[in-house]
């Protein structure tokens, strides 16, 4: 019994010894790492954001009146000169009438024609009365010479002639009125298909001209249709006069000022374009990001500095990548971003010290896309571990991978 316990205890000690030896071997095995020697160089701090081009002055052309817009002859991209007619609006065709309405209009026309005939008769009647009154006046004059009638009878004859003449004028005016009413009744009877092109041309049209020379940027009413006054028809602008607008986070916009230099990349051309900030909007706006987060954004407008020949293929509302240069320093000690991580709210990095990983806390300055400025904590020539794995710890043995 006692010998059995002795054997079991010896076996346990052997297992523990083997495990301790294996753990010691694993623990003392160097961790393979990649290192980079820090040195002096340039640090450029930028704010990068996508933007788009736009014509500086876009002229939006609207319909000045309600009517039927004829189909536009211009297309997007066409060049138009200042004062050139680009659209035309003519009156709206009358509606198609039902049978009852057509009969009512036909009856009104017949009534107007009858009134013309009545007025003709009234004119004839008034003229006959006027002729008779003049003959009576002549007779009265002859009788007055022979002292057959008094002067008063002559005056009454003259008055009757004047009255009868006025009645003729009134009857003729009434006849003209009835003729115009007949014309109006005929016009109301016309159906849309009965209106000849010549008649419509007489009534047509309101011409819409472009106020400036430039390219047609957008058509909002290309086909023929009825439009209301104030309807948006098209946009015109000068493609030679482009600007770039980019919406920055408000926290980034506060470090930008007018005159800040920038580079425009990712626009499709081989050359990086140079630009300069012209203005920053004083008011921001809320924009929901792709992650569904509400952000306060501010529009920043830039002018392209390079000659037009370099970016002549850029058009209106093209996407570009804007890199605004916040600061640019030369001859500063810098460390790769890939060697940095946070420890207790401080920046830190592992340094290769004689084959051992040594944890160093750092004080950093400006950041670029690839490097950070080292203010304290490292010296030139120090070798830092880039992309350290979770196996790298302080004071652990490391082995630099061969390139």
The pLDDT tens digits for 92-120 are 877 777 888 888 888 989 999 999 999 99
The per-residue pLDDT for 237 is 93
Q: H/E/C letters for each residue in 121-175?
A: HHHHHHHHHHHHHHHHHHHHHHHHHCCCCCHHHHHHHHHHHHHHHHHHHHHHHHH
- 188 and 316, same domain (yes or no): no
- 380 and 304, same domain (yes or no): no
Rounded distance between C-alpha atoms, residue 157 and residue 144, angstroms: 12
Could you tell me if residue 113 is inside a domain?
A: yes
pLDDT band at 157 (very low <50, low <70, confident <90, very high): confident
In the predicted model, is pLDDT for residue 198 greater than 50?
no
Sign of the CA dihedral with 186 first, then 187, 189, and 195 last: positive
State in Å, rounded, how far the first CA of the chain is from the last one: 62
The domain total for the chain is 4
Could you tell me if residue 318 is inside a domain?
A: yes
- 252 and 310, same domain (yes or no): yes
- 218 and 357, same domain (yes or no): no
In the predicted model, is pLDDT for residue 320 greater than 60?
yes
pLDDT band at 235 (very low <50, low <70, confident <90, very high): very high
Its pTM stands at 0.65
Contact 256, 276 (CB under 8 A): no
- 120 and 186, same domain (yes or no): yes
In the predicted model, is pLDDT for residue 9 greater than 80?
no
Cα 262 off chain centre by: 24
Residue numbers of the domain that contains 306: 47-55+239-328
The per-residue pLDDT for 206 is 86
In the predicted model, is pLDDT for residue 234 greater than 90?
yes
Provide the 8-state DSSP code for 70.
P
- 390 and 335, same domain (yes or no): yes
Could you tell me if residue 145 is inside a domain?
A: yes
- 324 and 334, same domain (yes or no): no
In the predicted model, is pLDDT for residue 28 greater than 70?
no
CATH code for the domain in which residue 73 is found: 2.40.50.100
User: What are 207's strand-pairing partners?
Assistant: 88
Average pLDDT over every residue of 222-241: 91
Burial class from Cβ neighbours inside 10 Å (0-12, 13-18, 19+) for residue 38 reads buried
- pLDDT tens digits along 362-400: 999 988 888 999 999 999 989 999 999 889 899 999 888
CATH code for the domain in which residue 364 is found: 2.40.420.20
Average pLDDT over every residue of 17-45: 75
Least confident of 19-28, 293-302, 310-319: 19-28
Could you tell me if residue 134 is inside a domain?
A: yes
- 308 and 346, same domain (yes or no): no
**Which one is predicted more confidently, 34 or 11?**
34
CA distances from 12 to 2, 20, 157, 391 (A): 16, 12, 160, 30
- pLDDT tens digits along 117-139: 999 999 999 999 888 888 888 88
């Amino acid at each position: 019994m006692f010998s059995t316990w002795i054997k079991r205890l010896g076996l346990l000690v052997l297992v523990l010894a083997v495990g301790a030896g294996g753990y010691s071997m694993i623990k003392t095995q160097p961790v393979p790492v990649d290192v980079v020697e820090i040195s002096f160089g340039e640090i450029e701090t930028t704010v990068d954001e996508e933007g788009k081009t736009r014509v500086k002055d876009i002229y939006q052309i609207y319909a000045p009146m309600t009517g039927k817009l004829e189909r536009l002859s211009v297309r997007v991209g066409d060049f138009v000169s200042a004062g050139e007619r680009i659209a035309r609006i003519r009156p709206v065709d009358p509606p198609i009438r039902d049978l009852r309405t057509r009969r009512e209009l036909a009856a009104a026309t017949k009534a107007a024609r009858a009134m013309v005939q009545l007025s003709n008769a009234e004119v004839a009647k008034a003229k006959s009365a006027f002729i008779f009154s003049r003959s009576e006046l002549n007779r009265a004059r002859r009788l007055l010479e022979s002292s057959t009638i008094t002067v008063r009878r002559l005056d009454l004859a003259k008055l009757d002639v004047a009255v009868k003449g006025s009645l003729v004028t009134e009857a003729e005016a009434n006849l003209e009125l009835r003729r115009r009413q007949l014309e109006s009744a005929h016009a109301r009877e016309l159906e849309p298909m009965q209106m000849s092109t010549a008649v419509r041309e007489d009534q047509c049209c309101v011409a819409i001209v472009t106020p400036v020379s430039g390219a047609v940027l957008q058509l909002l009413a290309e086909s023929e249709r009825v439009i209301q006054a104030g309807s948006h028809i098209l946009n015109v602008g000068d493609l030679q006069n482009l600007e770039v607008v980019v919406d920055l986070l408000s926290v980034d916009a506060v470090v930008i000022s007018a005159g800040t230099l920038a580079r425009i990349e990712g626009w499709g051309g081989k050359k990086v374009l140079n630009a300069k900030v012209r203005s920053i909007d004083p008011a921001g706006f809320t924009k929901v990001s792709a992650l569904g987060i509400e952000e306060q954004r501010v529009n920043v407008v830039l002018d392209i500095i390079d000659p037009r020949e370099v970016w002549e293929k850029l058009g209106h509302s093209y996407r570009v990548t804007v890199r605004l240069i916040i600061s640019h320093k030369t001859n500063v000690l810098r460390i790769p971003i890939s060697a940095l991580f946070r420890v207790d709210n401080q920046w830190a990095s592992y340094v290769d010290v004689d084959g051992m990983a040594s944890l160093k806390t750092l004080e950093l300055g400006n950041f670029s896309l690839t490097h950070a400025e080292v203010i304290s904590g490292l010296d030139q020539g120090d070798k830092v571990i880039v992309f350290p794995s979770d196996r790298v710890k302080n004071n652990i043995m490391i082995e630099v991978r061969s390139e």
